[in-house]
Structures are given as C-alpha cells and as structure tokens.
Structure 1
Amino acid sequence: MKILFLDQSGRVGGAELCLLDVAACCRDRSLVALFEDGTFRQLLEDSHIPVQVLSQTPISVRKESSWLAGVKSVRQLLPLSARVVRLSRQYDAIYANTQKALVVGAIASFLSRRPLIYHLHDILSLEHFSLTNQRLAVTLANRAALVIANSEASKAAFLEAGGQREKVYVVYNGFQLSQYQENRDRAKSLRFTLGLEGKFVIGHFSRLSPWKGQHVLLDALSRCSADVTAIFVGDALFGEQAYVQQLHEQVERLELGDRVQFLGFRSDVIPLMQMCDIVTHTSTAAEPFGRVIVEAMLCGTPVIAAKAGGALELVEPERTGWLVEPGDPQMLADAIAGCQQNHTQANAIAQYAQSEARRRFDLETINQQSTALLKSKVFSSSYE
C-alpha cells in the first residue's frame, strides 16, 4: 500500500513524532507532504523518509479560530488542495495527521477518489477548539474510511462531538525501546554541565504554552524545599511568546531565579529525562495522549501527571506513577515532596512503570496493530 501522509507543521510536536514512526514503516512506498518547512522536514530526511514541502506560507487558521478566519484561509487551502490532488493520484490512500491536513486531505480524497485516513491526536472539545473547528473536524472525519484515535479519551471526545462510532479505533503511540537504554555516565555529565549536582531535579518537557501548565509547576516549586530545582525543556510555538515572558516574570516574582532553568528546544531529551529525579506533566486541560509521560516511564524516571484525558490511561496511581488534580500547585508540591522523602519507593514505582511501558508501547507491536487496521478497514479488497 502506497500512502500519501499529510501534516500541517514544519515543527516537531507529539503528532509529528508519531507520524515519523508510522511513515518509517513504509518509507520505500510513501511520501510525507508538509504544509510548511521546518525542523520536522530535516528529521524526516535524516530518517530517510521521502518528504516534500508544499507551501512556504503557514496556514493562519488555529484551533480557536472562527468561521470568518476559515473563510479567509480559502485562498491558501485551494491551491494547496490542488497540489495534494495531483500528488495523491500516485498513491493508494491519503493519511491526514493533523486537523488542517484533514481539511486539505478531505478535499483531495473527494477529487482523487482515494480513501482518507485521519489520525486524531486531539481531544475535540471546546476546551481546545472553537465550535466551528470542532464541527468541521467531526464532519470531515466522518467522511474518512478510518479514524485512528491516539487514546480512549480522544475517541470519547470524538464520539461526544458527533463522530461515527464505526469509523474510530484506538491505537496508542509506539516507541522505539532501544532508544531508552540507561546511560548513567551521560546523566551524570549533564547534571555537572547544568550545575545541578546535589539538587533534586524536576523535569518538564513540553512546548511552552498556557495549557501545558508550566506556571503550575513554578507555583508548586515555590512551595518545595530550597534544594528542589526545575528544568523546562521546550520552546513556544504558534505565537505563544507572551506566555514565555509571563513565566520569566513569575520566576522573578517568586524569587526562583537560582532554581529554574529554561533550556529551550533540545535534541537530547532522553538523557535529560534520565538525569531527572522526577518528570512532571502539568497540563491544565485534558491531554489527548501524553508522550512525555510514556517517555519518562521508559527512562525509568518517576512521573507525576495531571489527572485528566489520556494520562488516566497511562498512569496507575501509586503503581506506575502519581496523578494530581490539574492546576493544583499544592497537590503537585505535596507529590514532589513525597517522592523526595521516599526515594526508594519512588524508584521502585518507576522501575515497575518502565516494565509496563515497555510491554504496552513497543513500536513494533503498535505498528503491527496499525498495519492490521489499515488492511482490514481501508485496503481489505487488496488483500482478499
């Protein structure tokens, strides 16, 4: 099966990392088409996955945009759709990996008569989307041959918004287990380089965005003992630089300057996670899946996550990690203190979480599930 993958972003996020793994399985007979250039294109090329950038101008519509903004974007969407139609005739199916890709992919699917697959990486609720974009996504997804949801939480939100039950199936993100081999020397070197020797280190790995809740961790940090420090790995995307300024002002106001480091985008996420004493997930709205949670587990690092969305499917309280109420800094601070004071128990829980994550999220097994689903729901006539 030859698949044309579509993604709106040139930057690397959770959806893009998932697509990288999916596309790698059929790199010799597929193409990833991006709607803008960026670091994701380079990552695909480094992985020897065919990629083509279709536009140099990002589509201006965002999840919270109104119908008027959508109308204004038509001038961008139509020529982009025409290019995808021409490309799609060389492939057996169109695989839309993001919402903007779904819009373009649906148009191309109709015109080229190629089946459409939609990989749903979002919770289609009004917390995340405007009513206009939510309705558009559900309407177009219902025309797809298959909707792959990245969690039961994403599936449930899709159904609640009007999605067709017979179209949607859950396939979790997979992870290349060999990448998460422990490297104590590397972790020790990073601690030294970052000046964190003798500190209790909390890691936060996410783009800097209000709903990702970095401000919640800063508030919690101010309630922890003075030897607790935090690193923030990730940068602002999609015009969220004002939030970054707010975070720096919060650090100054809480007098946390010597206990916080903003490291920006890093390529060495895995050793940084392995260096940490805890990885925290602090999203204030329900997370569709939570790649960071699974990655921390695979690194053998204790995890504290916000109790909502996909995190409820990943973390079993007191067995594979800890769950705290979203946006509750005191509860987060108490959980951090508990891990710090009961280091042996925290490490035992982290080791069990690691074994469970390796069992549940092995990329090879997940890819087998995806392939079987595609064959049975999209390409069944080709395999009879």
Structure 2
Amino acid sequence: MLRVAYIDHTARWSGGEVALYNILTHLGSNVDPLVILAEEGVLADRLREQGIQVRVITLNEKVRNRNRNVVNMQIVSAAFQLLSYGRRLARILKEEQVVCVHTNSLKSAIYGAVAAKIARIPLIWHIRDYIGEPYLKPVVAKAIRLMSRILPNGIIANSNSTLNALKLPKSKKTLVVYSSFANAINPASNVTVLKQKFTVLLVGRLAEWKGQHILLEAAKSFLPDQHVQFWLAGDALFGEDVYKEELLRQIDVYGLTNVTLLGHVDNIQELMQQADLLVHTSITPEPFGQVIVEGMAAGLPVIASNEGGPTEIVVHGETGLLITPGDPALLARSIRTLLGNPGERRRMSEHGMKRVQEHFVIERTVIQITSYYEGLISNIN
C-alpha cells in the first residue's frame, strides 16, 4: 500500500477541492492517504466524516489568501513563510513514512515542493489552473512554467488544454486525468416536459472570469417572456465580493426579475434535477469544467464556451453547443435554439449521459492516478 500525502492550501468547497474529495473517497485499498491542509473548513470536515486522516497545519491567512497575480515587496516575506511552512511539512512526511506528495493547488505546489525535496520523496503537481493570460500575468505564468520543469517529478493536469498551457518538454512525465463524476448518473425528469417555467442554470463561484455578467446581459432579452428563468448557483469565495456587488447592481439596474442568485448550494445534483438547460459562460479558458460533467450526468444539454477544457467535454451538436465566449447575443440565440427544440434537447441529454459514463466516471480516474503513482515511484527508485 502506498502512503501518499495530499496537500492543499484551502479547505473551502470549490472545484479543485471537490475533485480531490472525489478522488480520496474512491481510492480503494492501493493507497493510504494523508491529507494536509493549511486551514480548517468544509473539505476537512467531509474527509474526516469518511474516515480519511486529515492534519491541519495552519498557514498565515495573508499568505494563504494572497492573490496569485500580485507581484510586490510582500512577495519576499510570503516566500520566506512558504519556505518555513514547507520545512514543517517535511518533518510530518518523514514521521508518516510518506512515499509520494500530491499537491492540489498552485500555492501548495510551492511549499509542497520544499517539503518533498527536504523529505527526499517524489513530488507530483496536480495542475487545475490555466497557466497563461489572461488568468495569470505573463510574469507569473512564466515563473510557474519554469518551476514546473524543475521542481515536480511528475505533472497531472485536469485537461489537455491545461497541460498544453504549461509548455513542458516531452521528457516530463505527465498525465491528463479528468475531474470525474462520483455519483449515480440520474437524468433530470423535466428536460423535455412542457412546463410553465423553463429554467436555465449556471453553476460556479462568482468571479468575473466565470462570466456571470454575460448571462445577465443575455437574460435581458428574455424579460418580456417570464416563461424563461435564470438561476445562478454559487457565491464569492476568494476576495470576489466586489464582483458579486456588481452582479447585484446589474440585476437591479436592468430589472432582471427573471434572474435568481441562489448563493452557495450544497446539493448541486438535486438543483440540476429542477433545471432544463445548463450554461457555462467562462470568458477565459476554463481549465476543465467539472460542473459541465455534472450537468451532463443529470441529463442536461449544455451550452459552454468553445475554449479550454469544455471543448474536451462537450461534443458540439451532440451533447450540447459550444459557442464563442463573451457574446451575450450569441448566448441568448443559443438558449432560444434549444428552448424551441425539445427533441434536440432529449437527444443531447441521452448522448451526454452516455459520454459521462464512457469518459468521466471516478473509477476510471482513480485507476489512472494510482497506476501513475506506481510508475513514477518505481522509476525514481
């Protein structure tokens, strides 16, 4: 059995942490996980409920929440704190007889590298972010690409789009493994049923690059027809409260009575059972798009941006529509196209569920990752 340490700087219930939870709760008997988090939170609580060992080693809040794109004098102080934190983790890795470190975020990749190098054990970076503009400043993206060549023994990416953005040499041991669906595939009962309301759902944390404002612009053209309603599930998580206020002002100024901000929703699958269509509106390349997989598993046709990870999930014209991001008029026309064609929605629903079953189930992901561990460790030893 492999004793693997999984390291993350946050315990908030966000996309990368949900994906990590799904992996950890389906590992089976080949891996003995130790999870090391830099804060208490929902992820820690839920992992403990599943009997998974969690250790919280608190990292300074200012360092933990530091914006990845801020380059100023405080970066020196933050670097020293990450170095010190990594040394603390190295002692734990040795005590716990860990044979491999698997980091789950960009911040944890840095201090995880310090810990793994001191403990002299293999290091894997799991990259879930798009390493490039406009998501990252050029200087930051360049630094991460350089470190990704030098520090980790291996790289796992959540899509081919994410991996390609790193621009790694062919000699680097890499694996593309999709963030997978871990529940029963269960179609929404109302995808093609005639109802008084047609519900368009967008799920994701409130952040400008996620493009919620684009959906609000599109929703304006549906105001005369109260038959169509728009639900936005998610909240501001990482210092994005200003954007949330902008969305609220947009709703107020436009008089969008057909839009509801639901805030954080615990049971997304239950919410999807009440929807008719899922939209995904990221205006910069999405690293993957886990919520798209969840929507397809619920039998929802999907409209998503034709850049980044969504292009590896949605088959245009078969499981949904891929459209140019940042275009509210195009988004509105695409919604109307599917709104007026229940037969097409039914066909997309069936193909979407089949595609999830064939490519995006958690069992497939776990097999790929554990095999990757074994190959990486044996090659180093």
**Fold shared per TM-score above 0.5:** yes
- Structure having greater relative contact order (Cα 8 Å, sep ≥ 6): 2
Map of 1:1-384 to 2, 5 A cutoff?
Answer: 1-24=2-25, 25=27, 29-55=32-58, 57-58=60-61, 59-66=64-71, 68-89=73-94, 90-142=97-149, 143-159=151-167, 166-178=172-184, 180-182=185-187, 184=189, 198-224=196-222, 225-256=225-256, 258-380=257-379
Q: Per-residue deviation at 1:268?
A: 1.3
What amino acid is aligned across from residue 39 of structure 2 in structure 1? E
Native 8 Å contact 1:94 1:114 kept in 2: yes
What amino acid is aligned across from residue 221 of structure 1 in structure 2? A
User: Cα deviation per residue 1:187-211 (whole Å; 9 max; x = unaligned)?
Assistant: 9xxxxxxxxx721101110000000
Native 8 Å contact 1:297 1:350 kept in 2: yes
Residue aligned with 1:304, SS: strand
Native 8 Å contact 1:7 1:34 kept in 2: yes
In the alignment, the residues of structure 1 paired with residue 368 and residue 280 of structure 2 have an alpha-carbon distance, to the nearest angstrom, of 27
In the alignment, the residues of structure 2 paired with residue 69 and residue 132 of structure 1 have an alpha-carbon distance, to the nearest angstrom, of 16
Q: Per-residue deviation at 1:16?
A: 0.8
**Residue segments in structure 1 that go unaligned for 5+ positions in a row:** 188-196
User: Cα deviation per residue 1:238-293 (whole Å; 9 max; x = unaligned)?
Assistant: 1110111110111111111x211111111110011121111100000000000011
User: Cα deviation per residue 1:139-184 (whole Å; 9 max; x = unaligned)?
Assistant: 332221110011010011011xx56652322111122242x43474
Residue aligned with 1:105, SS: helix
Native 8 Å contact 2:122 2:380 kept in 1: no
In the alignment, the residues of structure 2 paired with residue 44 and residue 38 of structure 1 have an alpha-carbon distance, to the nearest angstrom, of 10
In the alignment, the residues of structure 2 paired with residue 206 and residue 237 of structure 1 have an alpha-carbon distance, to the nearest angstrom, of 10
Native 8 Å contact 2:24 2:33 kept in 1: yes
What amino acid is aligned across from residue 139 of structure 1 in structure 2? L
Residue aligned with 1:31, SS: strand
TM-score under structure 1 normalisation? 0.91
In the alignment, the residues of structure 2 paired with residue 381 and residue 250 of structure 1 have an alpha-carbon distance, to the nearest angstrom, of 55
Q: Per-residue deviation at 1:53?
A: 1.2
Aligned length, in residue pairs: 368
What amino acid is aligned across from residue 235 of structure 1 in structure 2? D
Native 8 Å contact 1:60 1:73 kept in 2: no
Native 8 Å contact 2:7 2:108 kept in 1: yes
Native 8 Å contact 2:204 2:233 kept in 1: yes
**Residue segments in structure 2 that go unaligned for 5+ positions in a row:** none
Q: Per-residue deviation at 1:97?
A: 0.8
In the alignment, the residues of structure 2 paired with residue 312 and residue 259 of structure 1 have an alpha-carbon distance, to the nearest angstrom, of 29
After superposing the two structures, state which structure 1 stretch, 24-33 or 113-122, moved more: 24-33
Residue aligned with 1:295, SS: helix
Residue aligned with 1:207, SS: coil
CA RMSD of aligned residues (A): 2.0
TM-score under structure 2 normalisation? 0.91
What amino acid is aligned across from residue 49 of structure 1 in structure 2? I
In the alignment, the residues of structure 1 paired with residue 121 and residue 84 of structure 2 have an alpha-carbon distance, to the nearest angstrom, of 18
Residue aligned with 1:139, SS: helix
Residue aligned with 1:293, SS: helix
User: Cα deviation per residue 1:3-56 (whole Å; 9 max; x = unaligned)?
Assistant: 111001120111111111222316872211111222111121222221111116
In the alignment, the residues of structure 2 paired with residue 218 and residue 300 of structure 1 have an alpha-carbon distance, to the nearest angstrom, of 24
In the alignment, the residues of structure 2 paired with residue 105 and residue 320 of structure 1 have an alpha-carbon distance, to the nearest angstrom, of 39
Aligned match of 1:192 = none
Aligned match of 1:194 = none
Native 8 Å contact 2:86 2:113 kept in 1: no
In the alignment, the residues of structure 2 paired with residue 167 and residue 67 of structure 1 have an alpha-carbon distance, to the nearest angstrom, of 33
What amino acid is aligned across from residue 260 of structure 1 in structure 2? V
What amino acid is aligned across from residue 345 of structure 2 in structure 1? A
Residue aligned with 1:81, SS: helix
Q: Per-residue deviation at 1:380?
A: 4.5
Residue aligned with 1:2, SS: strand
Native 8 Å contact 1:15 1:121 kept in 2: yes
User: Cα deviation per residue 1:225-248 (whole Å; 9 max; x = unaligned)?
Assistant: 332111111100111101111101
Q: Once superposed, which parts of structure 1, at least 4 consecutive aligned residues long, lie more than 3 Å away? A: 162-165, 182-185, 379-382
* Cα separation, partners in 2 of 1:231 and 1:279, compared to 1, 3 Å: same
